[in-house]
Amino acid sequence: MDLMKECWTGKINTVTLGATEKEGGTRTSQITVGGETALPFLFKEGDIPHAPVIAMEVLDAEPTDWPEVLKKPFGDALKDPVKWAVKCVEEYKARLICVKLIGTHPDFGNKSAADAAKLVKDILQAVKVPLIILGSGDDEKDNTVLAKASEAAKGEKCLIGDATEKNYKTLAASCLADGHNIIGESPIDINIAKQVNILISEMGFPLDRIVVNPTIGALGYGLEYAYSIMERARNAALLGDKMLSMPFICFVGQEAWRAKEAKATSSEHPEWGDESERGPLWEAQTAVAVLQTGGDILVMRHPKAVEEVRKYIDSLMKKG
């Protein structure tokens, strides 16, 4: 009996991060994601030309809410974002760094746009992998901060976010002017995801420079609903919907380490086992789930989780 195969007419856009010297940038490598013509890892039904990639997260301020098991692999580097980025690349072999400018938030340090721009320049000089640059989540401050960060990284083809339905114009204009890719964010809603992409594209932004952040939940914390939304969006894209044909970025580490099951100590819950194993496993399992529903870029935290998910991706791509 022959295997039944789905025949898709659509294709996920390819998006390339990082500009080499030949392209006017200073990166020594590039990352390309997307290009799928089939559902995740179903190689017999279409092309999966680019493996999903993992970005390691770096904050511009020392994290105060991270559990000790998550802080330990980075040590004193958590106090210096540049050293932190270098450690991720040199020791943990990160091919992509995600810089989150949380310290610019009015309630979490209120660092200036100039501070953010300087940090971006310093990290670009210290590591030569492509960058993802995120704001703090405060719309008014991000409009100023991300514009300066975009200018500081001009020509490096970074991925900058997030653009939302109500706050996208300033960021889209900056990314257009400075040659970057953009993240469109939607609150686990396929219709809003599509609308954000339409709004960004109406400003003249190329569709092959947009990445979708559908927002996800962690294992045990809304993951099933997020999974179903991503699944519906990917099906629509492969059926030919151009306004949903963008790669996904998923903030796995941020979500996984919010769960009490990941960060609670064994003294608090001895029946749950050692948190040094449980926490990274929680993050890794969350990552595996979003990979299976179409995640193209995973932003992760714990090196042990990164290593295990990297092996998982490699094994699936070899089978293809």
Tell me the one-letter amino acid at 18: G
pLDDT of residue 4: 76
Strand-pair category, 181-185 with 159-163: parallel
Q: Is the pLDDT of residue 207 over 70?
A: yes
CA-closest candidate to residue 130, choices 165, 155, 104: 155
Q: For residue 14, is it within any domain?
A: no
Q: Is the pLDDT of residue 254 over 70?
A: yes
Kindly report whether the global pTM for this prediction surpasses the value 0.85.
yes
- Averaged confidence pLDDT in the chain: 96
Query: Distance between CA 62 and CA 75 in Å, rounded?
Result: 11
Where in the sequence is the domain holding 255, given as residue range(s)? 26-319
Q: Which residues pair with 222 in a beta bridge?
A: 218
Residue labelled with tokens 């400003």: 203
CA-closest candidate to residue 60, choices 131, 125, 129, 119: 119
Q: For residue 19, is it within any domain?
A: no
Strand-pair category, 31-34 with 14-17: antiparallel
Mean pLDDT computed over 237-257: 97
Q: For residue 11, is it within any domain?
A: no
Q: Using CA atoms of 159, 162, 168, 172 in order, give the dihedral in degrees to the nearest 10.
A: -10
Tell me the one-letter amino acid at 11: K
8 Å CB contact between 217 and 263: no
Q: For residue 2, is it within any domain?
A: no
Question: What is the per-residue pLDDT across 86-106, written as a single tens digit (0 to 9) for each?
Answer: 999 999 999 999 999 999 999
Query: Distance between CA 300 and CA 286 in Å, rounded?
Result: 10
Q: For residue 213, is it within any domain?
A: yes
Q: For residue 252, is it within any domain?
A: yes
Question: What is the per-residue pLDDT across 140-194, written as a single tens digit (0 to 9) for each?
Answer: 999 999 999 999 999 999 999 999 999 999 999 999 999 999 999 999 999 999 9
Determine the straight-line distance between the first and last CA of the chain, rounded to whole angstroms. Answer: 21
Q: For residue 276, is it within any domain?
A: yes
Number of domains the chain is built from: 1
Say what angle helices 223-238 and 275-292 make with each other, to 10 degrees. 30
Residue 120: strand, helix, or coil: helix
> Which CATH number do you get for residue 311?
3.20.20.20
Neighbours of 83 (CB within 10 A): 16
Q: For residue 8, is it within any domain?
A: no
Confidence of residue 5 (pLDDT cuts 50, 70, 90): confident
Length reported for the chain: 320
CA-closest candidate to residue 295, choices 56, 36, 44: 36
Q: Which residues pair with 221 in a beta bridge?
A: 218
pLDDT of residue 1: 62
pLDDT of residue 320: 66
Mean pLDDT computed over 56-78: 97
